[in-house]
Amino acid sequence: MASMREIIFDTETTGFDPKSGDRLVEIGCVELIDRRETGVTFHAYFNPERDMPAAAEAVHGLSIQFLSDKPLFATRVDELMEFLGDAPLVAHNAAFDFGFVNAELARAGRRALDMTRMCCTVQMARKLHPGAKHSLDALCTRYGIDRSHRVKHGALLDAELLAHLYIEMTGGRQIGLGLAASAARTGASASPAPATSRGADRPFREPRPHMASTAEIARHAEFVAGLNQPLWLDTV
């Protein structure tokens, strides 16, 4: 069985709308294989070629002074696209992140990411927990994921937290109990052996009786007769 590769990613930007001139300034990506983190990541800061609004800087802490010597998106687009490959792409409020990445790809003269690759954990959370809060912080609290080291938003840190969250939301780390992977390695069936199967080297045993014997029935009747005001007589 082929392994399943997925990319969890997050972005930081100068604002909310790439159509009004807001730009991507950071992206962080985490690789999963069969819903397990591989330790392989992609992380980059980008010079947005514009100012950084104070409201945006308050969220992620990235000043224009810090970003001024960082590469343009077009400089690292080949590295990013190679890392993403053709894997499904998972993000929190994914339409936002896809919108910014696709806007930068358009500026670089590249083809947009196919929206069919998009998996949104906000939409997943709404189905799993209707009426609850669906922010990354709220969901990390719900699933017991430690975020104490998250002082400000950061693309790679948030992608790592989201990877943990996504794994938990899709069944935890014991998805399939590893049966499929073990079967692929050994060539054996992942299905458990029938309950009636018996190894040829095991001795045959006669089935044990499961009905009470005459002596046991007599002892039980004697015990019941000696009970003082049993509760079930109150209903007679």
The reply to whether 60 sits in an annotated binding site is yes
User: What is the rounded distance in angstroms from the CA atom of residue 97 to the CA atom of residue 90?
Assistant: 10
Positions marked catalytic: 153
Residue 29 is classified by DSSP as E
The reply to whether 10 sits in an annotated binding site is yes
pLDDT of residue 159: 97
pLDDT of residue 234: 60
Q: What are phi and psi of 228, to 5 degrees?
A: -95, 110
Distance of CA 197 to the CA centre of its chain: 37
Domains and CATH numbers, the chain: 5-186 (3.30.420.10)
pLDDT of residue 185: 41
pLDDT of residue 233: 64
**Hey, what are 58's tokens?**
């308050």
Per run of 10 residues, the mean pLDDT along the chain (length 236 residues) is 92 97 98 96 98 96 97 98 98 98 98 97 97 95 88 89 96 55 42 44 65 80 78 60
User: What is the rounded distance in angstroms from the CA atom of residue 168 to the CA atom of residue 149?
Assistant: 20
pLDDT of residue 24: 98
The answer to whether the beta carbons of residues 9 and 28 sit under 8 Å apart is yes
pLDDT of residue 202: 62
Residue 211 is classified by DSSP as S
**Hey, what are 92's tokens?**
């929190």
User: What is the rounded distance in angstroms from the CA atom of residue 218 to the CA atom of residue 187?
Assistant: 56
